[in-house]
Amino acid sequence: MDMQKIAKNMVKGSPARLFPILPESKREEKATSMLLSVFSMVPDFASSVLEEVGAPIGKRAKISCFTEVSFKGMKPSSRPDGLIIVESTRGTWAALVESKIGSSQVTEDQLVDYIDVAKEQGFDAVITISNQFAGDPSHHPLALSKSKRKGVGLYHFSWLAITSKALLLIDSKSVTDVEQSFVMRELVRYMQSSNTGMSHALSMSTDWKWLCNEIHQGQLIPKSSSQLSGAVADWFQLLRFLSINLSLAVGESCSTHFQKKHLSDANARVQDAICDFKRAQSFHGEIKIPNAASRLTITASLIRKTIDLSVRIETPKDVKKQRSAINFVLNQLKGCPADDITVVVNWPGRTPSTKLPLQMAMDEDERKALLLPELKCLPASVDLVRVIDMGARIRTPKYLPETAEAEIKRFYEEVVQQLQKWVPKAPKVKKVITDDAPKPAADSPSSLGPSSIAVGSIGGWGIYEPLGATLGFAPNLQRSE
């Protein structure tokens, strides 16, 4: 596929405009035009978004964007909102774009239609943009069978995700061109306006409320329940929403943590989440934060009506005492304003964890309750946990996202950002005794003290004869530098 072929097959399409002349009723087309025009003008911004969908973005890549395109052989009703073309030394990459604002969502028929168009035209991907959240751009909110999307990449971005990428780029000051920086700020200003229909909030669906009610009434939920699947989708959207907002709070790109098998299989992630919920009646997720000591874990327990936030720190393995290993974590929390944190010490094997409120654990005498003197091993790790009691409001569509967002920021600021990973100490150079070293007199007391004595040298190797050599042990050989 090349640019000439695309131009030949394109029946209609206009270059994306920064100031599109469109009626107020066409807010989706207007938003798409402005976004794609900024892609063309600010390569760094285009790269930060399109690299996640496989576009060959490089310093010499040329980005061309069009709106309201149609091609030969297409149905008259088929008209994607946009087309992105990236030309690079690796070839030409192209993707159709369909955007929605407000509560509008792409339908399955519409999506299948655009995928078929992409296949016919030899395009690489179909990208949708809406107020829905996706855990990863490759995990589309609308589940399609592999056969329907075979041969074409299917990706999704929320408007908040795109806005956050623009804000992080602005904050990093990596866009040094004055005009490009101005255009970026104007785009963010537009996307953040409440009049554009690009929502930066999240509401849980009726499926979430239904699931909460069923659990609170003690009902059994079958795995095949469509409402359970809907609640899982809500949970994944919540995790993405929280990671984006934490990114904006810390000025670094945070993301939802995925198991390796889930990266390429969104359905496996859904099924595993359903199985986990059936077992514990709770949802679990982790957020990765650049350079943080650990991932931030969030658990929503519907049976307990709580949100649990936690972070796990590996304890030192180069100390001799249990107290020293635990002190490594607690010493980092001196002056911590949090009074509702629980310290949980995890031990190897099946040994139960020990726990104390942080305020008690900071007292030297009270800290003894965290130790297990009868064990000869060191603790494996320490968890710092905060539990937020949601009550019946956990099922409220807007209360859960708003509360979780505020609490994660507070937990990160008060606890997580104070912590550092344990790093093993660098090895020390071993001292080697060679023939050149002065030898003690045969009858001196020092000649009887060491556990090994240098007795010779062969080819640069110092030969050490242990005092127990008379018992039949072989000499210890060690290279002398």
Tell me, what's the pLDDT at 422?
93
Q: Domain ranges in the chain?
A: 3-191, 206-418, 429-481
185-191 mean pLDDT:
94
Dump pLDDT digits (tens) for 65-117: 999 899 887 877 778 999 999 998 888 999 999 999 998 999 999 999 999 99
Q: Looking at 139-153, 218-232, 374-388, which range is the least confident one?
A: 139-153
Strands 296-301 and 306-314: antiparallel
CA–CA distance, 28 with 252 (Å, rounded to integer): 29
Please provide residue 379's backbone torsions phi and psi, each rounded to the nearest 5 degrees. -65, 155
* Rounded Cα distance, 228 and 222, in Å: 8
Cα dist from 101 to 114, 205, 391, whole Å: 18, 17, 33
Of 18-32, 130-144, 169-183, 380-394, highest mean pLDDT:
380-394
Amino acid at 219: Q
Residue 63 has pLDDT above 60, yes or no: yes
Percent of the chain scored above 90 by pLDDT?
71
Strand partners, 99: 129
CA R_g for the chain: 30
Residues in the chain: 481
Strand partners, 312: 383
The dotted CATH code for 206-418 is: 3.30.930
What pLDDT shows up at residue 1?
A: 60
Instruction: Decide: 384 and 341 in contact? Cβ < 8 Å.
Output: yes
User: pLDDT per residue over 346-386, tens digit each?
Assistant: 999 999 999 999 999 999 999 999 999 999 999 999 999 99
